[in-house]
Every structure is written in C-alpha cells, then in structure tokens.
C-alpha cells in the first residue's frame, strides 16, 4: 500500500512539475503580450507624430495655394510683359514645390501604411501563436486536474 502511495505521489510530483512548466509558459505569454502592447503604443505614438507632420504639411500647402492665388491677382494688374514673365516663372516654381510636397505626403502615407501592415501582420501571427499555446496549456491543465482528482479518488478509495 505504501509503495503504491509512493508511486502515486511520484506520478503526482511529475504532473506538478509539468504544470510548473505550463505556468512558466503562461508567464512568458503574459510578458510577450505586454511587449506587444508596448509596441502597439509606440506604433500609435509614431502614427500620431506622423499625422501631425502630415497636417503641418497640409497647412503649409494651403498657405502656398493662398499665396499663389494672390500672385495671380497681382499678375493680372501688371501690364508689362517682362514683369509678367518673371512672375510666371515664380508661380511655376511654387507649383512645382507644391507638387513635390504633395508627392512627399503621398509617399509618407504609403510608407506608413506599409509599415503598419507589416507590424499588424507580425502582431497577428504572434497573437495566434500565443492563442494556440494558451489553448494547449488549458487542455494540459484540465488533463492534469483530472489525473489529480482521479489519483485522489483512488487513494481515498484505498483507505
């Protein structure tokens, strides 16, 4: 009888050791989840910074558009062909600058979108992996609990 109790205790100790490993996995998953949350917060912060920069560029663009309209009005008032050509060159330069700015904004938006997609995909992969590991750990915990209850029933039944 004592020998059987010792065997059962050894089995129970082995199962508790496996449970300890499962608990460590859960703790690692928790740390990974916290890390992912931190990354998400950093990503959100970076997104807000870039959004502010885009808004500043749009404000600058609107300012340039307003100035261009004012220049056109002044050109209409000027009757000298030479001066008109000089103003026309200036307007062309401003328009090119606005187009360059607009292209930079579009590139920035595209790059931001690509980066967000990569980070999101990576996050989802890690999340799914953690979800599968957690499910496995839950099943293992239920099995261990069932074994422990079964062992206790057998031990109590033998008394």
Residues 56-89 pLDDT 10s: 988 898 988 899 988 888 877 766 677 678 889 9
Instruction: Give CA–CA dist 25/158, Å, rounded.
Output: 36
- Asked if residues 103 and 136 have their Cβ atoms less than 8 Å apart, the reply is no
pLDDT at 80: 67
pLDDT at 117: 94
Instruction: Give CA–CA dist 118/121, Å, rounded.
Output: 5
Mean pLDDT (the chain, rounded): 87
Q: Is the torsion defined by CA of 144, 145, 149, 152 positive or negative?
A: positive
Instruction: Give CA–CA dist 37/30, Å, rounded.
Output: 10
Average pLDDT of the residues in 13-24: 80
Average pLDDT of the residues in 115-141: 92
Q: Pick the closest to residue 16 from 152, 148, 124 (CA basis).
A: 148
């Amino acid at each position: 009888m004592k020998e059987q109790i010792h065997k059962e205790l050894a089995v129970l100790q082995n199962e508790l050791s496996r449970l300890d490993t499962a608990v460590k996995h859960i703790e690692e998953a928790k740390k990974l989840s916290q890390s992912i949350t931190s990354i998400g917060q950093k990503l959100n912060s970076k997104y807000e910074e870039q959004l502010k920069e885009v808004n500043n560029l749009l404000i600058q663009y609107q300012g340039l558009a307003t100035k261009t309209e004012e220049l056109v009005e002044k050109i209409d008032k000027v009757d000298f062909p030479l001066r008109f050509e000089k103003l026309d060159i200036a307007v062309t330069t401003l328009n090119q600058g606005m187009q360059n700015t607009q292209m930079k904004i579009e590139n920035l938006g595209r790059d931001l979108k690509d980066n967000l997609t990569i980070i999101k995909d990576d996050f989802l992969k890690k999340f799914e992996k953690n979800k599968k590991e957690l499910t496995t750990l839950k099943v293992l915990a239920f099995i261990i609990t069932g074994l422990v209850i079964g062992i206790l029933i057998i031990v109590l039944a033998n008394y």
